[in-house]
């Protein structure tokens, strides 16, 4: 990928994925990798920060003799995801206008 992904955009992507369902870290990484170049070592600090900001909660569940840490979005996280979505739509429209030369819809 040519473009660098900043922390805010990564937060927006994580929260957006978690709006759909609770998931564990490895699965979340795989989902994000479908669209972004991201590693688990990049993702886990983001998850810890979002948890510290009360945007996520975590729970451990036993799975094949080990624990999996599942992440859930909170109401505060949902609010933040909505804010990010609005900001993204505005940003995307402005950048499309620049890059596509006014051909953006």
- Let me know if residue 1 belongs to a domain: no
- Let me know if residue 2 belongs to a domain: no
- Let me know if residue 59 belongs to a domain: yes
pLDDT score for 99: 92
pLDDT score for 73: 98
What separation in angstroms does the CA of 36 have from each of 3, 8, 49?
A: 10, 14, 19
Task: Look up the pTM and report it.
Answer: 0.86
> Packing angle between helix 25-33 and helix 40-52, nearest 10 degrees?
120
From CA 28, how far away is CA 25, in angstroms rounded?
Answer: 5
pLDDT score for 13: 96
Per-10-residue mean pLDDT of the chain, 105 residues long, equals 83 96 94 90 94 97 93 98 96 92 61
pLDDT score for 4: 81
pLDDT score for 93: 92
- Let me know if residue 21 belongs to a domain: yes
From CA 97, how far away is CA 41, in angstroms rounded?
Answer: 34
Q: Which domain covers residue 93, as residue numbers? A: 7-99
Helices (H), 1-105: 7-20, 25-33, 40-52, 75-99
pLDDT score for 103: 56
Residue 11's CATH number:
1.10.10.10
Number of domains in the chain: 1
- Let me know if residue 77 belongs to a domain: yes
């Amino acid at each position: 990928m040519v473009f660098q992904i900043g922390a805010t955009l990564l937060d927006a992507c994580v929260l957006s994925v978690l709006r759909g369902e609770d998931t564990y870290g490895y699965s979340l990484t795989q989902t994000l990798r479908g669209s972004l170049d991201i590693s688990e070592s990049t993702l886990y600090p983001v998850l810890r920060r979002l948890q510290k900001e009360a945007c996520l909660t975590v729970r451990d569940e036993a799975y094949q003799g080990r624990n999996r840490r599942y992440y859930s979005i909170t109401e505060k996280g949902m609010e933040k995801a909505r804010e990010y979505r609005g900001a993204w739509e505005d940003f995307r429209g402005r950048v499309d206008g620049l890059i596509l030369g006014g051909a953006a819809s």
